[in-house]
Structure 1
C-alpha cells in the first residue's frame, strides 16, 4: 500500500476506491465498503479493506457537511446524491471503529502514529457530532 498521508484518502487503496464514486448514483458503493469492515473481526480485516472503509466513512461525513472539501470524486458524488440516511451514519461509525481498531492490521502498520490516530478521531467526531 502506497501511503503519503494519514488522512482518509492519503493512500493508494482509498484513492483507487474513490474512482468508483465517479459512476455511483446512490450510497450503495459506500455502504458496500463500510459493511466489509463493520462485519469483520478487527484482527481479520485486511489493511486495504480497512483504509477503504475509513475513506468511505469520510464520504459519509462529507455528505453530512461535517468535513471540508475532500477528493474531487467525493465532492462530485456528494453533490449528486442526497444526504446519507441515519443508518449509513451508524454503519460508518461501526466500520471506522473496526477499521481503526488497535487489534487490526492497519493499526499495526501505523504503529500508533499520533497523526493517524488524530485523523481517525477527527473523523469519528465528525460522524457522531450533531
Structure 2
C-alpha cells in the first residue's frame, strides 16, 4: 500500500486519481469511482477503496473545505471544478460507509495500530456531507 498518511489523499492511488479528474476537467471520474465502490459486490480491493474514498472526500471538501483534510493538489482541483453534481453527496456517504466497514483498505489499516485514527480522519469527510 503506497500510503504515507491517514488522509484520503496521502496515497499513490489518490494521487493518480486526482490526475484523472484534472485531465477530464469534470466530476465524471469521481462519480464513476464512487459508483464502483457502491456497486462492487463481494470483496472491495484497496486501490478501488482509495480511489472511491478520494472521490468522496473531494465531494465533501467541495461542500466544506474547512472540515476536510485535502492535499494542495486536491485544493487546486476544487478551485477549477464546478460544484459537484446532484446526488454526489449521497454517493459519497455510501462510498465512505462501504470503505469504512467492508473493504480491503479497512483490513489493511486493522493490521496496524492506526485503524481508529484512520477511521476518525475518514469520518471528517462524512461529517462534512
TM-score (norm: length of structure 2): 0.86
Paired with 2:79 and 2:91, the residues of 1 have a C-alpha distance of: 21
Q: Deviations over 1:77-111 (max 9, x none)?
A: 2222222134011011111111221x321111001
Partner of 1:70: 70
Partner of 1:56: 55
Answer whether contact 2:57 2:68 (CA < 8 A) is retained.
no
Partner of 1:116: 118
Paired with 1:29 and 1:58, the residues of 2 have a C-alpha distance of: 13
Runs of 4+ in structure 1 off by over 6 angstroms are: none
Answer whether contact 1:69 1:75 (CA < 8 A) is retained.
no
Answer whether contact 1:22 1:76 (CA < 8 A) is retained.
no
Higher helix share: 2
Q: Provide the aligned length of Structure 1 versus Structure 2.
A: 125
TM-score (norm: length of structure 1): 0.85
* Structure 1 gap ranges (5+): none
Distance 1:23 1:95, change over 3 A: same
> Residue 105 in 1 paired to residue 104 in 2?
yes
* Structure 2 gap ranges (5+): none
What's the RMSD between the two structures over aligned residues?
1.8
